[in-house]
Amino acid sequence: MANTYQRIETKLIHAGEPRPRIAGAIALPIFQSAMFEYAGEASYHDLRYIRLNNTPNHLTLHRKLAALENAEAALVTASGMAAISTTLLTLLKAGDHLLAQSCLYGGTHDLLTRNFKDFGLTFDFIDADDCSSWRAALRPNTRAIYVEAMTNPLLEVADLPGVVEFARGQGLISIIDNTFASPINFRPIERGFDVSLHSATKYLNGHSDIVGGAVVGRAEIIERVTHKLNHLGGAMDPHAAFLLNRGLKTLALRVRFQNDSALAIARFLASHPAVARVNYPGLESHPRHERARKLFDGFGGVLSFELKGSSEQAEALLHRTTLPAIAPSLGGVETLLTRPARTSHAGLSEGDRSRLGIADNLIRMSVGIEATEEILEDLARALG
Ligand code: PLP
């Protein structure tokens, strides 16, 4: 069923949906039932029970998400962090070593730096832009390499084809967090990654009203992650699954609008005298613009910028805007502004932040689907 539809816009609506429709319902109903009648299932993992992530709402999402990234299989989880932690704890065992991109989402960074040792796991951060440096970081027990499609909050685009080639050459599992790109802009499995992860909280759902996650990849890997998730308990709630499926239907419309709007806003900011620097891979001035253009179908809805001024001035600017909400997170229909040093990357030490280039006056913007002109007017007023 997953491969019946050709184009991503059609897959978003129809892929994985039960046919014939259940009781003729055009929208898949919510299966708010913790357990289902025993129907002769042979294995524990096949019993139908919400924690085993296999109600019709879950199974529909699994088929749809696999189809969107042209993967064999997919799995939804209770949050993006449940997807990330369960995948890493499935693919790594005590004694194993991971290579990870140095500028990671704050939660993933904390998982590695604070929790990994409790599981007997080790890691090294690598400059994911410089493939010549990776071999020196390899150890005999290195099992996997972990990167993000675009980094948060600096929007760096690593040497992703290099990561796949290196992983294949060294027998490592390649894992990418594809949250920022979404399957509209990037489909990592097509490019040879073994596993693609998402915080479904962001673009996939797109309405800032659930937390969720997804793991996408080969069937054999997804089955192993599923069994681990069944034991760790990070299942998605059926109501969240219903909302995620509803949100997914407009993913292409939302993300393409956000791509265009973010590019226009990035161009405006880059030409503004009060702005010192803009990070957005769609700008020709971005150091990896060419790479991003080759890899991605769009540059995404997130950008960040530094003011010519202090962190207090950056904070004041946030509060002079009237349209965006001042909030962390991203990928929703409403425009959000945040200062990463105070929110998503507050868990990092000041030294770590400055080593990664995350200035205290850096502002991150997640562009929503409001009229671009109104966001520009609001920004112009606040900057003026
Ligand atoms: N990955 C990225 C790139 C993120 O930005 C986030 C959250 O901000 C996560 C993972 C974690 O997702 P969640 O908050 O759904 O657990």
Tell me the average confidence (pLDDT) per consecutive run of 10 residues in the chain, 384 residues long. 80 97 97 96 94 98 98 98 98 98 92 97 96 96 98 96 98 98 98 98 98 98 98 98 98 98 98 97 98 98 96 95 96 97 83 88 97 98 96
DSSP state of 297: S
* pLDDT digit string, tens, across residues 245-262: 999 999 999 999 999 999
CA 159 to ligand 1 center in whole angstroms: 21
Q: Which residue has the tokens 């054999």?
A: 220
Cα 36 to averaged position of ligand 1 atoms, centre (Å):
31
Using the mean position of ligand 1's atoms as its centre, give its distance from the Cα of residue 180 in Å.
Answer: 9
Q: Is the N-terminal amide bond of 153 cis, ω within 30° of 0?
A: yes
Q: Which atom of ligand 1 is nearest to the CA of 328?
A: 8
Active-site positions?
A: 51, 105, 177, 202
Query: What is this structure's pTM?
Result: 0.97
Q: Which residues line ligand 1 (CB under 6 A)?
A: 79-81, 105, 107, 148, 152, 177, 179-180, 199, 201, 211, 213, 329
Alpha-carbon span 195 to 1, nearest angstrom: 21
Q: What spatial distance separates the first Cα and last Cα of the chain, rounded to whole Å?
A: 54
φ, ψ for residue 8, nearest 5 deg: -65, -35
* pLDDT, tens only, 260-271: 999 999 999 999
pLDDT in tens, 73-86: 999 999 999 999 99
Q: Ligand 1 atom closest to Cα of 148?
A: 3
